[in-house]
């Protein structure tokens, strides 16, 4: 549903709390609406956590406060069936990933997607995936930001971090059959998804995201 704000301008109404537990994606004129989502108490040390509403920033490299594109809704693609080859991840080294994620890393592969992604496997079991990084690029920073917010749709446990890139959300998804935490952040026209093997808390995925932000232009 769209509320008219003025001639030629519109503003997205908050999504249903049961679907995204979020408010505005990117509003007009700098205003926003906030709604509580999921856990009200973030994990220790995760300053900036909260509901994913009101994340839109301003200034160069952030999602502009213009009328949002609501149809079609921007969404992320996942690397199903994408070929992976052994190699070094261009975004983060294996040891730095291991330090932030919490598991020892052995094999590292590069996903032959565009842009490329990375996978990290456990040092003592080359079939056990401990982390994955994928990147989606959109036409505008606004579309990228909205895709980041919408990625948390249907996750009442979602936490948001306004200080990671242009905004980030963290929530749980299955990784090789186990519900683990991932962090999705927007940075300019890019949306980066960082998946970990950690079932709790979200802090490992969020710390990884913080390390990756400088690799992506604003």
pLDDT number for residue 38: 34
Q: What's the pLDDT at 185?
A: 97
- Can you give the pTM of this predicted structure? 0.70
According to the model, what pLDDT value does residue 164 have? Answer: 97
- Residue by residue, pLDDT tens for the chain (218 residues) are 333 333 333 232 233 232 333 443 443 333 333 333 333 333 333 444 444 444 343 333 444 333 333 334 566 666 677 899 999 999 999 898 888 887 899 999 999 998 999 999 998 998 889 899 999 999 999 999 999 999 999 999 999 999 999 999 999 998 888 889 999 999 999 999 999 888 888 999 999 999 999 999 76
So what's the pLDDT on residue 137? 94
Q: Which residues, in sequence order, are bridge partners of residue 157? A: none
What pLDDT is recorded for position 73? 54
What pLDDT score does 75 carry? Answer: 60
Distance CA 148, CA 168 (A): 7
Q: What is the structure's pLDDT at 78?
A: 62
Helix or strand (DSSP H, E) at 205: helix 203-212
Q: How far is CA 45 from the centre of its chain?
A: 19
Structure confidence at residue 189 (pLDDT): 95
pLDDT of residue 72: 44
Give the integer Cα–Cα distance in Å for 173 and 180.
6
The sign of the torsion formed by the CA atoms of 91, 139, 147, 5 equals: positive
Q: In angstroms, how far apart are the furthest CA atoms of the chain?
A: 62
Other C-beta atoms within 10 Å of 70: how many? 14
Nearest to 183 by CA among 157, 212, 209: 209
- C-beta separation of 58 from 37 below 8 A: no
Residue-level pLDDT at 175: 86
Q: Please, which residues have CB within 8 angstroms of residue 57's CB and are 6 or more apart in sequence?
A: 63, 162, 166, 167
The secondary structure element, H or E, covering residue 149 is helix 141-150
User: With contact defined as beta carbons under 8 Å apart, do 187 and 216 qualify?
Assistant: yes
Q: Which residue is it, tokens 């080859």?
A: 85
Write out the two tokens for 204.
């490992």
The single-letter DSSP state of residue 215 is G
Tell me which residue has tokens 């490299």.
Answer: 61
Q: How far is CA 154 from CA 15, 123, 165, in A?
A: 11, 33, 23
């Amino acid at each position: 549903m769209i509320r008219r704000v003025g001639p030629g301008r519109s503003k997205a109404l908050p999504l249903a709390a049961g679907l995204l537990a979020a408010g505005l994606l990117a509003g007009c004129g700098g205003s926003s609406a906030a709604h509580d989502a999921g856990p009200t108490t973030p994990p220790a040390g995760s300053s900036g956590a909260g509901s994913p509403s009101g994340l839109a920033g301003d200034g160069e490299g952030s999602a502009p406060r213009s009328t949002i594109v609501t149809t079609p809704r921007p969404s992320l693609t996942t690397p199903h069936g994408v070929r992976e080859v052994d190699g070094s991840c261009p975004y983060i080294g294996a040891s730095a990933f291991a330090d932030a994620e919490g598991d020892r890393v052995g094999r590292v592969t590069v996903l032959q997607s565009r842009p490329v992604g990375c996978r990290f496997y456990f040092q003592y079991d080359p079939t056990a995936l401990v982390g994955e990084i994928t990147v989606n690029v959109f036409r505008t920073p606004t579309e990228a930001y909205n895709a980041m917010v919408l990625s948390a749709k249907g996750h009442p446990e979602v936490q948001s971090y306004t200080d990671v890139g242009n905004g980030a959300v963290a929530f749980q998804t299955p990784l090789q059959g186990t519900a683990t935490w991932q962090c999705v952040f927007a940075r300019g026209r890019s949306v980066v998804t960082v998946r970990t093997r950690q079932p709790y808390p979200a802090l490992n995925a969020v710390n990884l995201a913080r390390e990756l932000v400088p690799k992506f232009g604003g």
